[in-house]
Every structure is written in C-alpha cells, then in structure tokens.
Amino acid sequence: MASRLILVRHGQTDYNFSGRIQGASDIPLNDTGLAQACTVGEALAKDESIVAVYSSPLGRAKSTAEAIATHHGIEVVPDARLRERGFGDWEGLTRDEIEKGWPFEFALWRAGVSSGLEKARVEHRADVARRFDGACREFSARHESGTVVVVAHGAAISLGLAAMIGAGEGDFRGLASMDNCHRAVVEVMRRSEGAGWVRLTSLNLPPNFAAVR
C-alpha cells in the first residue's frame, strides 16, 4: 500500500477568475493557473517519495499534474473517476445567474442537498464521492509504498475526501473546497477496506509550501 496521498486542485482558469461554474466543461488553465502549476510542481520536486501522479482527464487538471510529474520523470495517468462534479445546465454560469434561473434548485444546492437537482442535470454528491474514493483506494493499493499524487477539482476532492476519512458519501459539509493549486495530504491507515481508511494530516496547503517528508 502507498503510505500517503497528496490531493491537488488544479490551477486557476478564466472561469475560476470570473466565478463561473466549470463542472465537466474542459476549461484550460489561464496564465495565473500555469504559474501556479509550475509553483506547486517545484514545491513537490524534492519529495522523493512520490511514485505516481494520477489526474482527471480534463485539461486544467492534466496540465497541473504534468507540471508535478515532470520533476519525477513519470507519466501522468488520467482517470475519468477524478473528473469534476457534473453541473449540467449550470456550467458556464455564475451563481447569480443560477439563482435567477433555478431559484428552488439553487437553494437546495447551497444547502448541500443533492436530490431535487435533476431538472438542472447536476450530478449527485454521493456519486461523486464514491467514484473519487474508489479511485483513490485503487491507486493506494496499486503501489507498494511511497506517495501518490492525485490532481483533480474542488468539488470532487472535497466530496471524495469526506468519504475517504469516513465522514459520509456526499452528506458531510465540514470540508470546504480548496483554493486553486492548493493541496491536502492524507496518510493511509490500513488496507483500503471500509470507511475512514485514511487520516487527514494537512488541508489547503498553498502552491509554494515546500515541506518534504
């Protein structure tokens, strides 16, 4: 089993900057995001425990992952289970636009409720949590030791991480979404069975945080 996982949110995009929902839309990093990706890559460059880098297939995550992987001479492995939560008809819109067009569904979303969002084709929170958690369990089991880096998205990481620490599949609201190119660190506690198989040791570390294990 890998002993540790580092979960990294992708760098900034123009949608992030303008407050628009991205979801499954493939929005690239902007210049700020590219710089953030380089910074987090350099911060993790001296961590010799890193043995693999997995990424959402969306370009903003892959570009961030490649900036990390290049320092370790390894290839980024894309996995569709790491993609962002799908936001259906809301993708490309601001929160104000969503509230105006879907007032009832918007209130449910802001309250953390998943059911009732079918009209807008928004992916269920629990489904996101399960697929992300399942992918991370598999990555951990695939590597005998070392650190695995997982590059994904704000909602996917916060929902998946809640499931990973045993706080529930989509119904836990205690973890806020990380900032762009910030990261969380979890230690694998036991074989990837049951709930709470990791321990959260750091959350929302900035791109330039260069602590080496």
105: annotated active-site residue: no
Assess contact for 91 and 98: CB atoms under 8 A.
Answer: no
DSSP letter assigned to residue 45: T
- In the chain, the amino acid numbered 43 is A
Burial class (CB in 10 A: 0-12, 13-18, 19+), 199: middle
- Which strands make up the sheet holding 76-78, listed edge to edge? 76-78, 50-55, 147-152, 4-9, 183-188, 198-205
CA distance 145 to 185: 15
**Residue with structure tokens 């990424």?**
55
CA distance 45 to 71: 5
Q: What is the pLDDT of residue 15?
A: 98
Centre a 10 Å sphere on the Cβ of residue 119 and count the other Cβ atoms it contains.
Answer: 11
**Residue with structure tokens 């710089």?**
35
What is the separation, in whole angstroms, between the first and last Cα of the chain?
17
Assess contact for 88 and 23: CB atoms under 8 A.
Answer: yes
In tens digits, the chain (213 residues) has pLDDT values of 789 999 999 999 999 999 999 999 999 999 999 999 999 999 999 999 999 999 999 999 999 999 999 999 999 999 999 999 999 999 999 999 999 999 999 999 988 887 889 889 999 999 999 999 999 999 999 998 999 999 999 999 999 999 999 998 777 778 889 999 999 999 998 655 677 899 999 999 999 998 665
Residues in CB range of 77: below 8 A, 6 or more apart = 52, 53, 54, 55
84: annotated active-site residue: yes
Q: What is the pLDDT of residue 18?
A: 97
| Residue 6 in tokens | 């580092």
DSSP letter assigned to residue 146: S
Q: What is the pLDDT of residue 194?
A: 72
Instruction: Given the residues 42, 48, 75, 84, select the one marked as catalytic.
Output: 84
Q: What is the pLDDT of residue 143?
A: 94
Q: What is the pLDDT of residue 141?
A: 93
